[in-house]
Structure 1
């Protein structure tokens, strides 16, 4: 695998680590099976791309994309909390609705950003443009670590602990005076804001937004969470979020390595197969570890 492909995989891994963090919040902390992410990821890309193409500052456009994602998460949570629609069904309904909404926002199936300014072109000096494939991952490392620290700090506050308590034991949380409905709405807003932020960054690195860019996002997010938990099993949140980030990076590196290895003979259409194999391995490893230690004790 070439150095260019390696840094490209690292760049995608860092972007999808934000998706993984969003999935971690909904699936692990809230215990909410949220398929909205397949719609909120392209929603972030659509809002960001349309705003930048209209002449808006790329930083503001990216912020608006995150807000749009938060709005999608709120609607999903409201469908579940106030309209009593089952959590999985509520997220599926929102995911389906977002497909049409994203087409409306973009006015077509895609929006190019090849000649438009992005947060990367603004931050990276023109003199170092030939090294942008190295500098972009560096900027993303700083951004992802900053967001990780903010998430760790927030979920250690009283409100953050209330969200975690809602996912762990909603009945006990209500007995302690926690408004669990509001906590679900807030947690889902944060989760989908992170996913939409990743979508906006993805659109800016890939040179445009496309209506199909969200297909399989939930699978990638779950794969990153599962792989990360297998690599670094942890109970403390600070290590759990780090594991999720590492999982996303390892996942993308594994995919890039497999697709760039000529002797294996895999192509881009084998991506879903590779994902299924990787997730299966990540799920089986902990089971094999338990059996190994049990056999060793005997």
Structure 2
């Protein structure tokens, strides 16, 4: 159980980068961007292809980020310049990316024909290098020996991956906090809140939307590239339902931790991604579920996360109304009692 939960935390931290990207479009820009399902795979396909072709994993990951930025920017251009509905622009780009991703992965073959997946079992990735460095320090063994000493029989061997991803994810989180407080970031937030108002200040909302979508999908592609290297496998179907997972992370985080400030909201998104993965892992431990039920579980979790806060708020409001009513009745009773006493 501990190893399963630990693996969920490990994956959740990586998926948190994708959730931050979804947060930028759905919460900051108020843009329903379905490009995410395609750009996630684009990141993994680009990184896996370049690593297979012999490129350094860092360069491959940077190129994956660039590919995601381009995909998101094209969605923005379709919406702002071609005047295509936001939802439809994302769907069109997602469909186009399916074929593009097949072509990217097929570039490792001599005939260039699209292929649906790329294994990285024997390739050097970011995580193999990090694991090798971490093990050379002997920290993995020290942590696991301590855990065995307090009663844990099964212990993970990927502590280096977790610590590395915590540093990377929180660095991106703090960078997002800083950006959203800059002049461009404030303009981006204002565009999502009230596009007409920001246009009255001579701001170019089209450019801001394109920039926001580009940055969002760059983060999504980075998450896809890291997941491909973490799982040592890139697959064209890996992005199916990714937008729902991202939304679940955002909604769960906001419901638990609140949204009083930008810094608190981005932290909520990161924690929400980890909690979501833990909930999925614990649910899959129940024997009535199998791997085919994963999407159903995701949908149920999102529905609960959407409905539960409203139910709680409604009950709190009912209690407040009942309390105010009781106070008024008590005041009336007291006034009546005092009137009878005077009489």
TM-score (norm 1): 0.96
Q: CA deviation at 1:113?
A: 0.8
- 2:233 corresponds in structure 1 to 208
Q: CA deviation at 1:189?
A: 0.5
Asked whether 1:95 is paired with 2:97, we answer no
- 1:85 corresponds in structure 2 to 84
Supply the RMSD in Å over aligned alpha carbons. Answer: 1.3
Q: CA deviation at 1:180?
A: 0.3
TM-score (norm 2): 0.84
The 5 Å alignment of 1:133-212 reads: 133-212=158-237
Asked whether 1:291 is paired with 2:298, we answer no
- Residues 148-157 or 11-20, more deviating: 11-20
Computing the radius of gyration from Cα coordinates, the structure with the larger value is 2
Asked whether 1:230 is paired with 2:255, we answer yes
Q: Which runs of 5+ in 2 are unaligned?
A: 107-114, 142-155, 323-343
Q: CA deviation at 1:289?
A: 1.7
Quote the Cα distance in structure 1 between the aligned partners of 2:50 and 2:220: 18
Q: CA deviation at 1:272?
A: 1.3
The 5 Å alignment of 1:1-298 reads: 1=1, 3-107=2-106, 108-124=115-131, 125=133, 126-127=135-136, 132-262=157-287, 265-297=288-320, 298=322
Q: Could you say what secondary structure the match of 2:118 adopts?
A: strand
Quote the Cα distance in structure 2 between the aligned partners of 1:251 and 1:153: 26
Quote the Cα distance in structure 2 between the aligned partners of 1:256 and 1:123: 25
Q: Deviations over 1:205-240 (max 9, x none)?
A: 101201111111011001111111111111311111
Does structure 1 retain, via aligned residues, the 8 Å contact 2:188–2:212? yes
Q: Which runs of 5+ in 1 are unaligned?
A: none
Does structure 2 retain, via aligned residues, the 8 Å contact 1:18–1:195? yes
Q: CA deviation at 1:11?
A: 1.4
Q: Could you say what secondary structure the match of 2:158 adopts?
A: helix
Quote the Cα distance in structure 1 between the aligned partners of 2:234 and 2:51: 11
Does structure 2 retain, via aligned residues, the 8 Å contact 1:7–1:134? no
Quote the Cα distance in structure 2 between the aligned partners of 1:97 and 1:291: 43
Q: CA deviation at 1:280?
A: 1.5
Quote the Cα distance in structure 2 between the aligned partners of 1:208 and 1:277: 28
Q: CA deviation at 1:135?
A: 2.1
Q: CA deviation at 1:295?
A: 2.2
Quote the Cα distance in structure 2 between the aligned partners of 1:71 and 1:7: 34
Quote the Cα distance in structure 2 between the aligned partners of 1:76 and 1:52: 27
Superposition misfits of 4+ residues, deviation over 3 angstroms: 126-132
Quote the Cα distance in structure 2 between the aligned partners of 1:68 and 1:62: 10
Q: CA deviation at 1:191?
A: 0.2
